[in-house]
Amino acid sequence: MTRRSETAALAALILALAASLLAEGAPWFWPPATGDDPYCLSWRVMVEANNAKGWRTVPPPCVGYVWSYMAWGQYSRDVGSVADQISAYAAQLAPGADGLDAWVFDVDDTCLSNMFYYQTKQFGAYDPVAFKAWASRGICPGIPAMAQLFQTLKGRGFRVFLLSGRGEQELGSSTAANLAAAGFAGYDRLILRSAGYRGVSAVVFKSAMRRQLVEEGFRIRGNVGDQWSDLQGDLVGDRVFKVPNPMYFVP
Amino acid sequence: MTRRSETAALAALILALAASLLAEGAPWFWPPATGDDPYCLSWRVMVEANNAKGWRTVPPPCVGYVWSYMAWGQYSRDVGSVADQISAYAAQLAPGADGLDAWVFDVDDTCLSNMFYYQTKQFGAYDPVAFKAWASRGICPGIPAMAQLFQTLKGRGFRVFLLSGRGEQELGSSTAANLAAAGFAGYDRLILRSAGYRGVSAVVFKSAMRRQLVEEGFRIRGNVGDQWSDLQGDLVGDRVFKVPNPMYFVP
């Protein structure tokens, strides 16, 4: 080919690419505007406000939206904003000298990110076998703003309890190793689901575990989770904080 | 001027306008992309999820964002989505023949919109005198999706109670007239703040009023409000729904 025909071919390729982008919407790897799809933005806000409940998968038209939201900055920004709110609230509290002022953190998608797993599943229905295989690898990245917050709270003299619905027997050691590798070292206790609580709802299990902490004398000053089921039920704490999660819903 | 110099002047004007738009961001009258400002979107989602509490004004950098959100479609879309959720939930309920299945609705920015008032105040700090003057005019527009939902629930055989922190003595008649004009005819009771509850927090006042309804035998199947203080406290109902409101916060 001559240089002129090469240039023409390249121009045609670029034009075709641009036309396909305009026709189909941006592909998954293309950074979108933050708010992008008005319908999916409405849906995401409903999830965060606990208006949309019991959904089993991300609505099919919003799979690309959720992918972009998670991957291209707005999720990180939202988590960072929530961490700032928590930090500002905690700064007003004076932990007692008795060492009983405590925070409760959920684990999955509060401390550790399962984004990569849910991306490969296209945010589809819950698959317990595949999720267990993923979680047992112990390679979930830590969520940076939360790891920093965790250290801030520890540094201010709070006790921090990690409370997760993961099965203790199957996932106890991999979860502990994952947390340590992801910047969550120095928590007071990692409370997982023992055999006796298998099949019990998150609200009931977590309420029972919090009751145990309160009976031991701890004052739950704050409670942080990505699911409303982390934050409702009994003895939820003085203040609850919802970490964004439009990927899945735990009843 | 010659035609050519007129054209040149017009082109220069258009270029200058375009340059100023690029430099300053879109002016208030310009329909923005829905998600627009990443920081303000984070803040708005935190408000809806009850992570941001006790704020006295919209953050100054977000005044334009909130204006655009309210005025240019996304707010209406969000309210419509919540109304759809409520309608779908209510469709699963079978109201009893005893006529005791009830819904509780807040009034301000749940049934009636104060958007025009808060726009003129630039979403600034609460001003009780000016708000009372506005509300006593009785000209708040009804929120269309909520008026339709209200009629749907009535049609399905639910009792609907409107519960508002507005003062009964000062605003009782104007509120009733405003509701009737705005498409909210046929409610079972408009419960306003009597003299005995003056100065009491919204959570305490509304909890007491709901308790009265429950003691009368009503079953509160759903509770709809634009403030978390409408939806927390005692006897909140079987399910609560948060209508979006990034304009102001009622503790």
CB contact under 8 A, A45 and B46: no
Q: Are B11 and B3 in contact (CB under 8 A)?
A: no
CB contact under 8 A, B51 and A78: no
Establish, for the pair of chains A and B, how many residue pairs have beta carbons separated by less than 8 Å: 89
- Measuring CA to CA, which residue among B62, B25, B56 is closest to residue B42? B62
Buried/exposed B183-217: b ≥16 CB within 10 Å, e otherwise = bbeebbebbbbeeebeeeebbebbbebbeebeeee
For residues A49 and A87, state if they share a domain: yes
Q: Radius of gyration of chain A from Cα atoms?
A: 21
> Cα-flanking dihedrals φ and ψ of residue B51, to 5°?
-85, -35
Report the SS3 class of residue A229.
Answer: helix
For β-strands A101-105 and A219-225, DSSP reports them as: parallel
Residue B29 CB-density burial (10 A; 0-12 exposed, 13-18 middle, 19+ buried): exposed
Residues of A in contact with B232 (CB under 8 A): none
For residues A128 and A82, state if they share a domain: yes
Kindly state whether residue A15 falls inside one of the protein's structural domains. yes
| Calpha distance A166→A37 (Å, rounded) | 34
Q: Count of CB atoms within 10 A of residue B91's CB?
A: 10
Residue B120 contacts A, CB cutoff 8 Å: no
Chain-centroid distance, C-alpha A2: 54
Residue A45 contacts B, CB cutoff 8 Å: yes
Residue B212 C-alpha, separation from nearest chain A C-alpha, in angstroms: 24
| Calpha distance B109→B129 (Å, rounded) | 18
The pLDDT value given to residue B11 = 64
- Give the count of alpha carbons within 13 A of A207, CB side only: 11
Contacts of A115 (CB under 8 A, 6+ apart): A70, A71, A109, A141, A247
For residues A81 and A126, state if they share a domain: yes
CB contact under 8 A, A77 and B39: yes
Kindly state whether residue B166 falls inside one of the protein's structural domains. yes
Q: What is the residue type of B82? A: V
The pLDDT value given to residue A14 = 63
Residue B60 C-alpha, separation from nearest chain A C-alpha, in angstroms: 16
For residues A71 and A24, state if they share a domain: no
Residue B41 contacts A, CB cutoff 8 Å: yes
Q: What is the residue type of A46? A: M
Residue B246 contacts A, CB cutoff 8 Å: no
The pLDDT value given to residue A6 = 67
Residue A54 C-alpha, separation from nearest chain B C-alpha, in angstroms: 11
Q: How confident is the model at residue B22 (pLDDT cuts 50, 70, 90)?
A: very low
Looking at residue A60, what DSSP letter applies? Answer: G
The pLDDT value given to residue A21 = 47
Buried/exposed A6-31: b ≥16 CB within 10 Å, e otherwise = eeeeeeeeeeeeeeeeeeeeeeeeee
- What's the pLDDT tens digit per position in B153-200? 999 999 999 999 999 999 999 999 999 999 999 999 999 999 999 999
For residues A48 and A118, state if they share a domain: yes
The pLDDT value given to residue A5 = 65
Kindly state whether residue A99 falls inside one of the protein's structural domains. yes
Residue with tokens 């004009």: B181
Residues of A in contact with B43 (CB under 8 A): 81
| Calpha distance A109→A142 (Å, rounded) | 9
For residues A42 and A125, state if they share a domain: yes
Output the CA torsion sign for A238, A239, A243, A249.
Answer: positive
Is it the case that residue B20 has pLDDT exceeding 60? no
**Regions in chain A scoring below 70 on pLDDT:** 1-35
Kindly state whether residue B12 falls inside one of the protein's structural domains. no
Residue A242 contacts B, CB cutoff 8 Å: yes
Kindly state whether residue B29 falls inside one of the protein's structural domains. no
For residues A44 and A119, state if they share a domain: yes
Residue A230 contacts B, CB cutoff 8 Å: no
For residues A165 and A233, state if they share a domain: yes
Structural domain boundaries, residue B186:
38-242
Q: Select the residue of B41, B48, B85 nearest A34 (Cβ to Cβ).
A: B41
The pLDDT value given to residue B34 = 44
Residue A180 contacts B, CB cutoff 8 Å: no
Kindly state whether residue B25 falls inside one of the protein's structural domains. no
For residues A235 and A170, state if they share a domain: yes
Is it the case that residue B100 has pLDDT exceeding 90? yes
Is it the case that residue B134 has pLDDT exceeding 80? yes
Chain-centroid distance, C-alpha B138: 16
Best B45, B68, B85, B224 residue to mutate vs chain A (most A CBs within 10 Å):
B45
- Give the count of alpha carbons within 13 A of B133, CB side only: 7
Is it the case that residue B24 has pLDDT exceeding 50? no
Tokens coding B229: 């203080």
CATH number for B221: 3.40.50.1000
For β-strands A101-105 and B219-225, DSSP reports them as: unpaired
Looking at residue B28, what DSSP letter applies? Answer: T
The pLDDT value given to residue A23 = 43
Overall domain count for chain B: 1
Kindly state whether residue A251 falls inside one of the protein's structural domains. no
Q: Count of CB atoms within 10 A of residue B74's CB?
A: 23
CB contact under 8 A, B42 and A77: yes
> Cα-flanking dihedrals φ and ψ of residue A14, to 5°?
-60, -45
Q: Select the residue of B45, B52, B80 nearest A45 (Cβ to Cβ).
A: B45
* Average pLDDT of every residue of chain B: 91
Q: How confident is the model at residue B29 (pLDDT cuts 50, 70, 90)?
A: low
Buried/exposed A110-144: b ≥16 CB within 10 Å, e otherwise = bbbbbbebbbebebeeeeeeebeebbeebebebbe
Residues of A in contact with B231 (CB under 8 A): none
For residues A160 and A237, state if they share a domain: yes
Residues of B in contact with A240 (CB under 8 A): 50
The pLDDT value given to residue A26 = 47
- What's the pLDDT tens digit per position in B205-244? 999 999 999 999 999 999 999 999 999 999 999 999 999 9
Kindly state whether residue B8 falls inside one of the protein's structural domains. no
For residues A13 and A135, state if they share a domain: no
Any alpha helices (H) in chain A, and if so which ranges? 3-24, 38-48, 63-71, 74-91, 115-120, 128-136, 144-155, 168-181, 202-215, 228-231
CB contact under 8 A, A46 and B82: yes
Mean pLDDT of B63-86: 96
CB contact under 8 A, A46 and B81: yes
Interface confidence, given as ipTM, is 0.86
Which helix (H) or strand (E) segment holds residue B219: the answer is strand B219-225
Residue A52 contacts B, CB cutoff 8 Å: yes
For residues A23 and A63, state if they share a domain: no
